[in-house]
Amino acid sequence: MSKRGREEEFSRSCIAFDIDGVFKYGREWSKDGHKALEKVTKAGMPFVFVTNGGGGLTEAAYGSSMTTKIAGAANADKPTVIGPERMVLSYTPWKTMLANDLADSRVLLIGDPREKVLEVAHSYGLTYATHYQDYAIKNDTINPFRAAKAGGTSHTAVAVASAKESFSGKAKAGTPGRAASPAAEVPFAAILVMCDPYEWYEAHQAAVDVLCSPTPLSLEYDAHAPPMPIHFSNPDVLWKSEHPFPRFGQGAFKLALRALYTERLRFLRVPAETIDERIAAFKQWGKPTESTFRFLEARLRELSPKPGPVKAERFYMVGDNPTSDIEGARRANIHHRKDGTTTWQGVLVRTGVYKEGDETNGAASVCDGVAEAVDYILQREATFS
């Protein structure tokens, strides 16, 4: 390369911040978050927030709420405005990495609250997303317990109004409508598990039906259809809520779904190797997956629009979880082993799940909190300039 070419090369350094256990602890927000962001902004370093949560909020809604909370915790007059481009929620990568291919296809959408996840799906251009609860309400035999629950009765035959009684107008108020004609059924192309569903039974039953057949109202099992793509946004089996001990998360929903789907296929006498193939089509997103870290890199590059060839790219992942945040950085380094340009450093903080003495999983540094983590990164970066 010519001397001139070398002069045009530049180094890029960016930060991805985890949220829970870093900027907030339960419902408390860190007093140091505001100052940490001010320092990063002043240094001109691109940054994003990345979480395995999202709760069905849009990136704009989440970012706007973070802006207020972080500034509020520090009593700051001038908040650091966090726009939607800085928010990487568990399902955010789907907008660019998935939604184009599914824009006109029918997808089964799993997650709650219903209105919010539908809003997110529509904002991604998924025009034909069918929410699992709407699907079960429209086709009222999918979930035999829904009508019983709504009517405060039992699902046993003796308690449920027969079809004949229903037709004579004796059906209870709130009984969902009749099933759509299977002949009119539009095939499903994919299942998206956007966040935790409130109705596990209904979500599991609907998902297994669609996994077995793209037209599950008319065909129980379609041996000729390719494995139905199913995407999960968050791998965490457990998460910390206000309860003293961890609660089941989306990773637990996936474990249960895999077990139920496997049993359902065995019942249909599907060969073991076909079952394995179908289960292998399950696609995981979120930290520490490669898909999410590739997306983080792309987004951080977009936020540092400096032209010219890159000499070195140093990405930092600041998080409290060695098996999620730091593991993601570790895997990203394995991915980039051969390119010699891109490196990730995991920076662990002591304000969340990591406790002194735990395995750090190769973190470059362990810091007391987010302010110290930012100081560590800025000091390290100073050694490169």
CB of 117 to Mg ion, least distance (A): 22
Task: Decide: residue 154, CB within 10 A, 0-12 exposed, 13-18 middle, 19+ buried.
Answer: exposed
18 vs 202, which CB is nearer to Mg ion? 18
Q: Which of 74, 194, 64, 77 is nearest to 129 (CA)?
A: 194
SS3 string, 184-250, reads: HCCCEEEEEECCCCCCHHHHHHHHHHHHHCCCCCCCCCCCCCCCCCEEECCCCCEECCCCCCCEECH
Q: Which residue ranges make up the site for Mg ion (CB under 5 A)?
A: 18, 20-21, 320-321
CB of 242 to Mg ion, least distance (A): 16
112 vs 325, which CB is nearer to Mg ion? 325
Rounded to 10 degrees, the C-alpha dihedral 335/338/339/340 comes to 110
> Which position has the token pair 């025009």?
127
Task: Decide: residue 18, CB within 10 A, 0-12 exposed, 13-18 middle, 19+ buried.
Answer: buried
CB of 325 to Mg ion, least distance (A): 6
CA–CA separation, 287 and 50 (whole Å) = 8
CB of 309 to Mg ion, least distance (A): 35
Q: What value, to the nearest 5°, has the Cα angle with vertex 234 and ends 348 and 362?
A: 25
180 vs 238, which CB is nearer to Mg ion? 238
CA–CA separation, 213 and 189 (whole Å) = 10
252 vs 310, which CB is nearer to Mg ion? 252
CB of 265 to Mg ion, least distance (A): 35
92 vs 321, which CB is nearer to Mg ion? 321
Q: What value, to the nearest 5°, has the Cα angle with vertex 137 and ends 135 and 140?
A: 105
Position of minimal CB gap to Mg ion: 21
CB of 365 to Mg ion, least distance (A): 17
CB of 349 to Mg ion, least distance (A): 9
121 vs 353, which CB is nearer to Mg ion? 353
46 vs 352, which CB is nearer to Mg ion? 352
